[in-house]
């Protein structure tokens, strides 16, 4: 059996291939949707971005007010050997390595704007980011836009529902693990993340609860009942997180230092000391990585079946259009030239009369066009009465020798206008015949 590293890495490769092919969710069960994933869900200001950055150990996500995450971010973490340099790669810039994580943040923002424009709109087209670091575990997370209750200036009236629909499209899939993030300084009963997770996963089998901002709770209160699963029970354990303070963020406090401070907080806390061994971002990352591997192992048969189905469909398509004959480029070029010459021969025979087809084009100009021209109302348009009327109306103040030139011009332009309909109809008829002849020629070329 493959190791956890290779299993999650393999799923990551399949996921990237699906994204390149435009398969990133939608109607029906696609291969992308069949792959086990961890979707991060939370309301705005729930600490969602801080949790992700704590898991990675780097500042790399755009920050600001309102909706900052406006496209799904597929974040693939790859553990490397100690001492190796950390770097990031985007799927849309696969040849460029980012070692400056401030540049990663800017690229996420710029790539979002490339799809949504410099607006506050959202898009379901994902951004794919891989981070290679000795400080992470092998894990794939999908960061989704934060749930919101009201639209602000610059957002459409449907933005609240649009975000909820996008989140649902990910977390309602049976292979999706839900990471529901809620702030501890708010009532868990009103948590946006828990509310939507409960609707799509009422048993709590796919949901991991994360409680942030434990250090910001009112004095004399704590979240022990939630963390121990007594207030809201899930199948998996709740994990508490202590995010960096805004002051730490402003001072660019190192994430590794922040992780250490988080461990010290739980270890020295009178309320949470007994839970310290299963609290914090590092524990959360290991927990999710182990569970993701477990789910992948369970889903391997169905994933293999979907891949085999896709291979069969591609083979059927290859059989239909024809498989490659030659291997080296020179032989391929020769084969293509042979096919082009064979097609040219058959197509010319259709046009020149060796095969049926060219006679139909001749018929358009010999029968269809003349018949249409004969029906044009030239007798009425060029009648003596109409010519007299047009010439009289054109008799202005300018001198003329016999009759006003403007009158003749109007008569000629009016007559030419009548030709437009029959001419366009003839062009369309010839176009349809030529398309049919091309299809026939291709089919007959394949039989030669």
**What is the percent of the chain where pLDDT is above 70?**
89
- Residue 68: which CATH number? 3.40.50.300
Residue 435 pLDDT exceeds 50? yes
Q: Indicate whether 418 belongs to any domain.
A: yes
Q: Which of 317, 347, 374 is the last residue of a domain?
A: 317
Q: Are residues 309 and 342 in the same domain?
A: no
Instruction: Specify if 322 maps to a domain.
Output: no
Can you give the residue range of the structural domain that contains 416? 329-447
How sure is the predictor about 372, in pLDDT bands with cuts at 50, 70 and 90?
confident
323 in any annotated domain: no
**Once rounded to an integer, what is the mean pLDDT over residues 14-23?**
72
Could you read off the pLDDT of 266-275 as tens digits, one per residue? 999 999 999 9
Residue 434 has pLDDT above 50, yes or no: yes
Alpha-carbon distance of 323 to 315, in angstroms, equals 9
Q: Are residues 273 and 386 in the same domain?
A: no
Q: DSSP characters for 38-86?
A: EEEEEBTTSSHHHHHHHHHTS--S---SS----S-EEEEEEE--TTPPP
Residues 189 and 286 in one domain: yes
Separation CA 285–CA 288 (nearest Å): 5
Is 324 a domain residue?
no
pLDDT for position 323: 62
The answer to whether residue 172 sits within a structural domain is: yes
- pLDDT tens column, 309-356: 888 888 888 777 766 665 566 777 777 788 888 888 888 888 887 778
Per-residue pLDDT reduced to its tens digit, 52-83:
988 888 888 887 666 678 889 999 998 888 88
With a pLDDT cut of 90, the percent of the chain lying above it is 28
Hey, is 186 helix, strand or coil? coil
**pLDDT, the chain, mean:** 84
158 and 42 within one domain = yes
């Amino acid at each position: 059996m493959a190791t956890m590293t290779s299993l999650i890495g393999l799923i990551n490769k399949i996921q990237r291939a699906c994204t390149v092919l435009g398969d990133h969710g939608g109607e029906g069960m696609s291969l992308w949707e069949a792959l086990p994933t961890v979707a991060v869900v939370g309301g705005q200001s729930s600490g969602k971005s801080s949790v992700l950055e704590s898991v990675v150990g780097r500042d790399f996500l755009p920050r600001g007010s309102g909706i900052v995450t406006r496209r799904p971010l597929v974040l693939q973490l790859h553990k490397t050997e100690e001492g190796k340099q950390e770097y990031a790669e985007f799927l849309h810039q696969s040849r460029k390595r980012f070692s400056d994580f401030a540049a990663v943040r800017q690229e996420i923002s710029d790539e979002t704007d490339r799809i949504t424009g410099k607006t506050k709109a959202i898009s379901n087209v994902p951004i794919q980011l891989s981070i290679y670091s000795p400080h992470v575990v092998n894990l794939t997370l999908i960061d989704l836009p934060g749930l919101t209750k009201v639209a602000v200036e610059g957002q459409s009236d449907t933005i609240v529902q649009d975000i909820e629909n996008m989140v649902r499209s990910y977390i309602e899939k049976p292979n999706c693990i839900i990471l529901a993030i809620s702030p501890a300084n708010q009532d868990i009963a009103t948590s946006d993340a828990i509310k939507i997770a409960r609707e799509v996963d009422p048993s709590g089998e796919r949901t991991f609860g994360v409680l942030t901002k434990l250090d910001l709770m009112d004095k004399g209160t704590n979240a022990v009942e939630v963390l121990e699963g007594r207030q809201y029970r899930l199948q998996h354990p709740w994990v508490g997180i202590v995010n960096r303070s805004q002051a730490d963020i402003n001072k660019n406090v190192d994430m590794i230092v922040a992780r250490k401070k988080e461990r010290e907080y739980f270890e020295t806390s009178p309320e949470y000391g007994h839970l310290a061994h299963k609290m914090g971002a590092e524990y959360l990352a290991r927990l999710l990585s182990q569970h993701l591997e477990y789910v992948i192992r369970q889903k391997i048969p169905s994933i293999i079946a979907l891949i085999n189905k896709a291979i069969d469909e591609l083979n059927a398509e290859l059989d239909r259009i024809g498989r490659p004959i030659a291997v080296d480029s020179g032989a391929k070029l020769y084969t293509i030239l042979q096919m082009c010459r064979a097609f040219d021969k058959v197509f010319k025979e259709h046009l020149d009369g060796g095969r049926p087809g060219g006679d139909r084009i001749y018929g358009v100009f010999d029968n269809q066009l003349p018949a249409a021209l004969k029906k044009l109302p030239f007798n009425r348009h060029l009648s003596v009465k109409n010519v007299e009327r047009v010439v009289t109306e054109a008799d202005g103040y300018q001198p003329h020798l016999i009759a006003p030139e403007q009158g003749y011009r109007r008569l000629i332009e009016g007559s030419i206008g009548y030709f437009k309909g029959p001419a366009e109809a003839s062009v369309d008829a010839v176009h349809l015949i030529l398309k049919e002849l091309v299809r026939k020629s291709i089919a007959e070329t394949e039989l030669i």
